Structure 1
């Protein structure tokens, strides 16, 4: 029997690194980053493991963690792994109904919560759940409900593990830990229907680590890694576990909206993110170029041209750049590129994994042109994150890299990407029928994503389930159009409407600050945001920009009508998942009247 490496990982790293800093988290009262050494981390994990035993948590029992990113999430995870306990993370923004469903489905007796919102939701859910026995609160500032004598604070929980009396049981469990043990159940937020609990075993992580070792060759103990995406998301979770396994320092970002501030405080060498982060960087640079004039503007445009030619035309295609071009590139590297990186907070950057959605080609081209090592990848919760990824100097625009060691990919019916290998889930928790449907008869996992292989690189084309069929019988891939439009600096969110309709239309959430700025510059008076977005000059502005961006699409794929929305899509109205993916069915329902109005008479 092979023991799980996760059950021993933190203590082994402490023996190697001692008082070197393993974690940092931001204290918002002092605006400083508090370090936690490897020794301190390991001691807290050991106390957590003993407290679990004292509490009576059984081998392979499910415990819930309902919190934003906090170091306590990692203490609970690795303490649980020592005890062969399964952790079930819940998104910090989950609604009462979502929490109730997951707690009941996973039979959770003990639920850890982060701040006041999570406690309040959990406390209300406790009254409705048969299984939930105790809430354990990370943040000492949380005010418990009147009459709640059952919930305890994390400090009280740790106190239960102070004494060594439970250590023999912890040691026994560690020695009996196995790669066959279940590690996590990750509930996918689901753009359709109920959440499904993806089961990830210790063996899945073990194979994933080995596959990444062969690809991410220069990640190590000198790297400073910013945790920006929620730990609940498999991308950040698997990446963070792997970074700890490699001896990196993790800097835990509590509030996603603070990332532009915290990234400048930490100045990380690595950070995994979604394309939206880089889209905003790209839009910001485009805005800066538009505001600049004269020689400065010429230099900025030339820097982008030189970078594109040097890194994409030549290096990406395995060619050596001419010496004059290389000299120019080196000049811009020391001036314009380095200033840009410093402004973002990534001048120490090693590489930046990016996945979770399609990366607009203009954004990828820009990022590579200025010498930022964005590593595009593709993966799912069901594949323990990475299926494929690029590497420094080994990329193709529009591709999602080469397939990782330990994963097999084949292209099935309807060009579906299908997977097999040690990182693939064994199935969905307590959902045998859905598990069976998710695999082909010969054992390959169906991703639902369409794509193809070319020259060793994997390319995605669309979500098979997301393909729209117009009433004229034409198939539309909405994500391809949305990815094209969202790079525009005036567009924040967009959703394409086409299914069973005569033509393509769009609901657009503008970048309101940019539209208001345009209105001021063009002396357009408005009393409200709604009034501004209905102004003919503003509508014409968007029409011209959309027509320019969609030129490459066939006539039947192009957006004929659009509506500018005065409010963004939101999680509160059920329009976005916890990972900010759009729930198309909910949007179609919530905006039915607006959508129907766009189709009242035929256009074009």
Structure 2
């Protein structure tokens, strides 16, 4: 590796190797077509951004912000910044005004790049309140600026300021002086507990992550077509995308998360990292089809799932050879049922699919592997530059988060908390020395806040230490274990367990409204609106039956005794979900205080 930081020269080196081959693709919604961007063009844009940043007076290791959904411009800006030793701070495209204000002030951001109208509007309002924010640079030419806004410029205008070739000498000088000890990103985590904290990731963190992944992701090559679906703001997608670029993969950038099912079918990717929610929807869709089927078709589909389970989980996962008859049957289903399923989703060319960000329900993982989809379940944190552990494609075990990434050390506290040490671990939180000292020991061990244990070389997660509830009877409850079990049900969309300092366990449940309405129609249950439907005794009985079936394996004190069905889903707008769709329990407790108290009335 050269003296310069690896990411500061990456795109230029790949352009020298691949030239006019496509590096990126993005969907042009006006034309309904995917537009390729060659490595040469990508490298040209990166140089242009570097010069424009210098023309704007951006200093070495100054923080700039990128507040946008996934767009090629996010990557041009990132790599242009790295080449001139500038730090990029991504903000979630859905961030509220107060979240943006906090980050802009905390990081003293002078230049903020924004994606579309929503981001511009929020940023412009923040600019009126912020002393630091000097200029907003707008990616989308369709954004309409406020009438009185004389300072904001469009990305095309910003790039023009970098047309001055004489600035390239300064870019080259900065690149040559860059190194692994430069700060690359500050990633603000939208914690479930409250105030954001900025995780500092240096170039050395990314370089160590790339070296470690090279040892385990042996099948990823420059022939892979990768769909970027999670926000680039999320460390999982960010670190993965940078890594894919080091391998020369083609990145296909999904602009709107809600369009993912359409874009996957258009691109037919070989790899895509996602959260369990994506696979939960696939699972629910398949089971809905099975429930609607009858006769031979139904028994064929059920047999295909059972055959896949026995072949891939019972035998292959345990490194045993399947019996010949089972193997032949599996091959038959592989050509028929499984291949049709993969084609319907758009992943029939699949290489592997990294999945993390939340616990994967066991039956979802078993289902995905049963139909021959190569899901790689892992575990990671922003503070560890994403990956801590992952299941190798030929050596995984369901219910675990795989093997520890090479180069990382792991140990467990008396409470069972996972402690980590290694080059991919953050050096600390931006401007938060006390918090850094609290979570990272003097000899470099980082406290993850997650509990777990190792067995047969696999890491098992048990729960968030902070998330353990203690009932008023002194019993400890792991809410995520119960929630993960319930969301698999086709009638349940979201669930939050209530138990802390309470006599028994209760739950707030957001039903899968479409399924409940379908059930009402089939059973001739009359209702006026959704709220009325959810109060019907037949619906309560339906949910009670399903919950009782799902929670059989839990101890009596862990089981849900009462529940409330909610007519509205949990949302980011009401502050109930973080940007990564994790539940903010404290907010739910406040927003649904009346409903919760009602469940605990004698």
Same fold (TM over 0.5): yes
The 4+ residue runs of structure 1 with deviation greater than 6 A are none
Report the alpha carbon displacement of residue 165 of structure 1 after superposing the two structures with TM: 1.3
| 1:512 paired residue number | 513
Report the alpha carbon displacement of residue 441 of structure 1 after superposing the two structures with TM: 4.5
Cα deviation digits, residues 5-59 of structure 1 (max 9, x gap): 1000001000000011000000011110010000000000010001001011000
- Does 2:90 correspond to 1:61? no
| 2:260 paired residue number | 259
| 2:581 paired residue number | 580
For the residue of structure 2 that corresponds to 1:443, the secondary structure is coil
Report the alpha carbon displacement of residue 193 of structure 1 after superposing the two structures with TM: 2.1
- Does 2:599 correspond to 1:598? yes
| 1:341 paired residue number | 342
Cα deviation digits, residues 566-596 of structure 1 (max 9, x gap): 0000111110111111000000011000000
Report the alpha carbon displacement of residue 69 of structure 1 after superposing the two structures with TM: 0.3
User: 2 CA distance for matches of 1:178 and 1:442?
Assistant: 24
User: 1 CA distance for matches of 2:335 and 2:601?
Assistant: 56
User: 2 CA distance for matches of 1:573 and 1:379?
Assistant: 27
User: 2 CA distance for matches of 1:165 and 1:147?
Assistant: 34
| 1:178 paired residue number | 179
User: 1 CA distance for matches of 2:442 and 2:301?
Assistant: 55
User: 1 CA distance for matches of 2:352 and 2:164?
Assistant: 43
Deviating more after overlay: 195-204 vs 411-420: 411-420
| 1:491 paired residue number | 492
| 2:453 paired residue number | 452
User: 1 CA distance for matches of 2:111 and 2:507?
Assistant: 44
The aligned runs of 1:74-89 (5 Å cut-off) are: 74-89=75-90
User: 1 CA distance for matches of 2:147 and 2:437?
Assistant: 47
| 2:42 paired residue number | 41
| 1:12 paired residue number | 13
| 1:382 paired residue number | 383
User: 2 CA distance for matches of 1:155 and 1:237?
Assistant: 24
Cα deviation digits, residues 283-310 of structure 1 (max 9, x gap): 1111111111111111111111111111
Cα deviation digits, residues 352-390 of structure 1 (max 9, x gap): 000000000000010000000000000000000000001
CA contact (8 A) 2:3 2:176 kept: no
The aligned runs of 1:170-569 (5 Å cut-off) are: 170-569=171-570
Report the alpha carbon displacement of residue 227 of structure 1 after superposing the two structures with TM: 0.3
Report the alpha carbon displacement of residue 440 of structure 1 after superposing the two structures with TM: 3.0
User: 2 CA distance for matches of 1:178 and 1:393?
Assistant: 36
Q: Which runs of 5+ in 1 are unaligned?
A: none
The aligned runs of 1:80-229 (5 Å cut-off) are: 80-229=81-230
TM, length-normalised to structure 1 = 0.99
User: 2 CA distance for matches of 1:484 and 1:165?
Assistant: 61
User: 2 CA distance for matches of 1:536 and 1:123?
Assistant: 50
- Does 2:31 correspond to 1:26? no
User: 2 CA distance for matches of 1:392 and 1:47?
Assistant: 40
User: 1 CA distance for matches of 2:601 and 2:116?
Assistant: 48
TM, length-normalised to structure 2 = 0.99
Cα deviation digits, residues 216-264 of structure 1 (max 9, x gap): 0010110000000000000000000000010000000000000011110
User: 2 CA distance for matches of 1:226 and 1:397?
Assistant: 24
User: 2 CA distance for matches of 1:136 and 1:413?
Assistant: 50
User: 1 CA distance for matches of 2:410 and 2:283?
Assistant: 32
User: 2 CA distance for matches of 1:337 and 1:210?
Assistant: 35
User: 2 CA distance for matches of 1:462 and 1:286?
Assistant: 28
User: 1 CA distance for matches of 2:309 and 2:515?
Assistant: 27
For the residue of structure 2 that corresponds to 1:341, the secondary structure is helix
For the residue of structure 1 that corresponds to 2:415, the secondary structure is helix
The size of the alignment, in residue pairs, is 601
Report the alpha carbon displacement of residue 408 of structure 1 after superposing the two structures with TM: 1.1
Cα deviation digits, residues 336-361 of structure 1 (max 9, x gap): 00000000110010000000000000
Cα deviation digits, residues 174-200 of structure 1 (max 9, x gap): 100100000000000011121000000
For the residue of structure 1 that corresponds to 2:129, the secondary structure is coil
For the residue of structure 2 that corresponds to 1:551, the secondary structure is coil
CA contact (8 A) 2:21 2:39 kept: yes
Report the alpha carbon displacement of residue 411 of structure 1 after superposing the two structures with TM: 1.2
Q: Which runs of 5+ in 2 are unaligned?
A: none
User: 2 CA distance for matches of 1:362 and 1:231?
Assistant: 29
User: 2 CA distance for matches of 1:44 and 1:444?
Assistant: 40
Cα deviation digits, residues 73-132 of structure 1 (max 9, x gap): 000000000000000000000000000000000000000000001000100100111110
